Amino acid sequence: MRDLRVSVTDRCNFRCLYCLPETEEAADFYRTRLDGLRQALPGARPTPIHREWKPRAEILRFEEITRVVRVAVGLGIEKVRITGGEPLLRQGVERLVAEIAGIPGVRDLAMTTNGALFGPVAASLRQAGLQRVSFSMDSLDRDNFRRMTGRDGLGGVLEGLRLARQLGFHPVKVNAVVIRGMNDHEIPDLVRFAAAEDLSLRFIEFMPLDSSRAWQKDLVVPGREILERLRAGFELTPVDASANPSETARRWRLGGGRGEVGIIAPVSEPFCGHCNRLRLTADGKLRTCLFSLDEHDLRPLLRGGGSDADLAALLQDRVRHKEAGHRIGQADFVQPQRSMSCIGG
């Protein structure tokens, strides 16, 4: 294990189709597809996840997060990514970034954000030691962006992207979850934008992690189909990933030498066999897989007088029992009880 994803809050100010689809437009989008499902399978009805934000007392304090990271780094973790929910909703997150950046052995410190709150704190994050930032941006069309996220926030994300480059974050990444019938027609526009702005773009398959449990396989645009569309319109040069065998994305440089595109295909082309990630939820649960059905609570050790050696032993034990892989697409697949916002991406 070399990569630790740290969620600092389960709250989010967006309501994305693939995570917290709680807007009327999201309901309308899924309704037509669910009606077809019920006709094909009478009685079929998804069971929404009962979501409640965790009370503040259950959310890990910064010093507790820093302690977990420090112990994990002592066991081999090298990369740390701050996530949420939306991490910039956590007041004073710059202080946490500085604390983690100061831990010897952390060679890569990044954050994933929706970008809406990035501008006012961007310089402080950079000064605190944040090295890289990834923005979630699923559409370049203002109306479609609002349909997908539940917020009219495209302008703020675009401003944040350009500010990140000005401040020296490198690389600046854009993550786009592709949903058939919603934004898959924008694949070429997103690639052209990445080339024009010299960004690293990642197309991500739609995964079953939404709170409404409305995910359907026919809404997934498989990675191979995305690649076919890219090859039809763009010059692609494969990026050698042999130095990082745990890379989740297949990557290509775009013609002209500006911009990069990657495809992350956990549904159609699982990469479980070389996964090197662990996840720490905002309320102190360790997850060994994004789709884990079991979580391992670290708070009793953190708040009950456990030593660093005790914490290290627990981490090692859970890694030894890490799942061989997720079961998406299999008859026995069970969706996690928490949505992406509550798990941490």
pLDDT, tens only, 165-204: 999 999 999 999 999 999 999 999 999 999 999 999 999 9
What lies within 8 Å, CB to CB, of 120 at 6+ separation is none
The pLDDT assigned to 339 comes to 67
The pLDDT value recorded for residue 32 is: 62
Written as one letter, the residue type at 62 is F
Helix (H, G, I), strand (E, B) or coil at 232: helix
Q: Given this model, what pLDDT does residue 329 score?
A: 67
Q: Which domain holds residue 230?
A: 3-343
pLDDT band, residue 41 (cuts 50/70/90): very low
pLDDT at position 266, please? 84
Question: 154-170, pLDDT tens digit by residue?
Answer: 999 999 999 999 999 99
Does the pLDDT of residue 253 top 80, yes or no? yes
> In the chain, how many domains are there?
1
If pLDDT is split at 50, 70 and 90, which confidence band does 85 have? very high
CATH of the domain at 272: 3.20.20.70
Arithmetic mean of pLDDT over the chain: 89
Look up residue 7 and give its amino acid.
S
The reported pTM is 0.91
